[in-house]
Amino acid sequence: MSAGLASKEDRIRDEFDRVWKEYSAFDRTLDALSALTFALNNIREIKQETELINFTPRLEAVDLDGARYTPDGLVIQKHCDFVLELKTSWNDADIKQIIKYARSAGYFLKDDSKRQFKSDKCVLLGYQNPPGDERLDKLFQAWEENKISCPLVVFRYSLEQGPEERMYFARIAHDRNGRCPTNSKLGQAINSSRGFPVKTDNYKFYRPKFHKTNDQVIASYAAVLWWTKYARHYLSEEQKSEMAERGRLTSPFTILWNKIDEVPAMPGTDVPLGPSDVRRALEFLQEAKLVKLKKKARAFEIVLKEDRFIRLPQGIPVPRAGSDMSVKILGRWASNRVKKPPKKPKQPRKIRRRRSGGRDDRTLPMFD
């Protein structure tokens, strides 16, 4: 094998590893939302004190901010209120964002009426990859400087293997970390030094309800989800019959650019994909060579196929037994990203003006 070919395969593997880690991390965040949903709905002591659960909340803005704030969750209980935000890892923008949520005075119900937060309010900030002490110090320092009265509780969430797979929540041990109100069973569970687990088998019923966190979905995840869950809902009855019989379409179906906003409703889904998510999914699938962009027709063209008809490029390290659709789509994307990178748009040519032979009278000469 030539050095150039080996280098190219190494780059493909690196691209795949990077996007797979990103994909898996986002998947665990949705697991965490599902596990919290189970705890709020099925642990009797917590359910009895919970009045409202909303994973697409809208909070009242403060200062000159016009748009309403959209954290990942809102839990209203009899004696206290929780605002929830989940992160895969640290971002410097987290500080400003979480302070906004803390300063918000109220939230909106589905009928657009507004309610004020209780005096006992708590902001929960969860990290899959907890930040170090230096960043946490920076976060809590900003919290104190803004003189926010409610506690900020930073916790870790992780999917742990063992005899039984489970999602585990644990408050981060940091001197300046806050504590949840003790008049809440949910707060007591998060405050516990041991943390609390939720078995995967317990929350798997809630898992299909979450297709993204409240604000966004990463492009790779949106692409796999759109291909496996949403695409069939765009098909005509004839195309659905063909897919059921043959496992693929013989002719493509198209989505016009001006129709992308028309996303099929997904029954039983609490947080579905939105128009911007679908657009990002189609662009990712275009790079994976599963979707064609027809510029003249101003449309995306898709020949839908089942898993068994999609080839996984050679040299892709399969991260688990078998190769499901996520591995194939991400593998194709990584391969094409290295072998056939997207073309950069051509820069418009600069038009050079010809200089006239006459004297330039716009400036004075240096010497008379």
Domain boundaries, the chain: 28-209, 219-339
Tell whether the model's pLDDT for residue 323 goes beyond 70.
no
Q: What value does the mean pLDDT take over residues 209-234?
A: 94
**CA dihedral of 135, 141, 144, 149, whole degrees rounded to 10:** 10
Tell whether the model's pLDDT for residue 222 goes beyond 60.
yes
pLDDT digits (tens, 9 = 90+) for 19-63: 999 999 999 999 999 999 999 999 999 999 999 999 999 999 987
- Answer yes or no: pTM beyond 0.75: yes
Tell whether the model's pLDDT for residue 335 goes beyond 60.
yes
According to the model, what pLDDT value does residue 84 have? Answer: 98
Average pLDDT of the chain to the nearest whole number: 89
Q: What value does the mean pLDDT take over residues 152-177?
A: 94
Residue 206: how many other CB atoms lie within 10 Å: 20
Tell whether the model's pLDDT for residue 269 goes beyond 70.
yes
Band of the pLDDT at 364, cuts 50, 70, 90? very low
Tell whether the model's pLDDT for residue 206 goes beyond 70.
yes
For 18-41, b/e burial (b = at least 16 CB within 10 A) is ebbebbebbeebbbbbbbbbbbbe
Tell whether the model's pLDDT for residue 178 goes beyond 60.
yes
Name the strand (E) or helix (H) holding 26. Answer: helix 3-42
Tell whether the model's pLDDT for residue 349 goes beyond 80.
no
Give the residue among 70, 93, 84, 101 at the shortest CA–CA distance from 40: 84
Q: What value does the mean pLDDT take over residues 255-260?
A: 93
Residue 235 class from Cβ within 10 Å (0-12 exposed, 13-18 middle, 19+ buried)?
middle
Residue 85 to residue 126: CA distance in whole angstroms: 6
User: For a pLDDT cut of 90, what percent of the chain falls above it?
Assistant: 76
pLDDT digits (tens, 9 = 90+) for 58-95: 999 987 667 889 999 999 999 999 999 999 999 999 99
Q: What value does the mean pLDDT take over residues 112-121?
A: 95
Look at residue 130 and give its three-state secondary structure. Answer: coil
According to the model, what pLDDT value does residue 343 have? Answer: 65
Which of the pair, 352 or 45, is modelled with greater confidence? 45
Tell whether the model's pLDDT for residue 3 goes beyond 80.
no
According to the model, what pLDDT value does residue 324 have? Answer: 87
Instruction: State the Cα angle at 361 between 357 and 364, rounded to 5°.
Output: 125
The H helix count followed by the E strand count for the chain is 10, 12
Residue 40 to residue 46: CA distance in whole angstroms: 6
Q: What value does the mean pLDDT take over residues 128-157?
A: 96
| CB within 8 Å of 205: residues ≥ 6 apart | 38
Give the residue among 102, 32, 22, 21 at the shortest CA–CA distance from 60: 102
Q: Are 59 and 68 in contact (CB under 8 A)?
A: yes
Q: What value does the mean pLDDT take over residues 232-247?
A: 94
According to the model, what pLDDT value does residue 65 have? Answer: 62
According to the model, what pLDDT value does residue 24 have? Answer: 94
Q: Are 94 and 125 in contact (CB under 8 A)?
A: yes
According to the model, what pLDDT value does residue 356 have? Answer: 46
Band of the pLDDT at 366, cuts 50, 70, 90? very low
Class for domain 28-209, per CATH? alpha beta
According to the model, what pLDDT value does residue 98 have? Answer: 96
Band of the pLDDT at 353, cuts 50, 70, 90? low
According to the model, what pLDDT value does residue 363 have? Answer: 38
Q: Are 197 and 167 in contact (CB under 8 A)?
A: yes
Tell whether the model's pLDDT for residue 368 goes beyond 60.
no
Residue 184 to residue 201: CA distance in whole angstroms: 25
Tell whether the model's pLDDT for residue 193 goes beyond 90.
no
